[in-house]
Structure 1
Amino acid sequence: MTAELGARIRAARIAKGRSLRALAAEAEISPSLLSQVETGKVQPSVSTLWAIVTCLGLSVDDVLGHEAAADAPKRSAHVEPVQLAAAAPEIVMENGVTWRGLAVIDSSVDSLLVTYGPGASSSIDDTHMRHSGTEYGYLIRGELTLRLDFETYVLRAGDSFCFDSMRPHLYQNRTDAVAEGVWFVVGRSSTGDDERVAASGTMRSAVDVLDAMSRLPGRTES
Structure 2
Amino acid sequence: MICTDALPWAAMSESEQNAKSPDNALELAIGRQIRDFRIRQEITVADLARQAGLSVSMLSKVENGLTSPSLATLNALSRALNVPVTSFFRMYEETREATIVKSGQGLTIERQGSRAGHQYQLLGHHSSGHSPRVEPYLITLTEKSEVFPMFQHEGIEFIYMLEGEVVYRHASRLYRLRQGDSLYFDSNAPHGPEDLVSLPIRFLAVIVGRT
Rg larger in structure? 2
Q: Normalising to structure 1: TM-score of the pair?
A: 0.43
Q: Write 1 or 2 for the structure with the bigger share of strand.
A: 2
Q: Which has the higher contact order (CA 8 A, sep 6+)?
A: 1
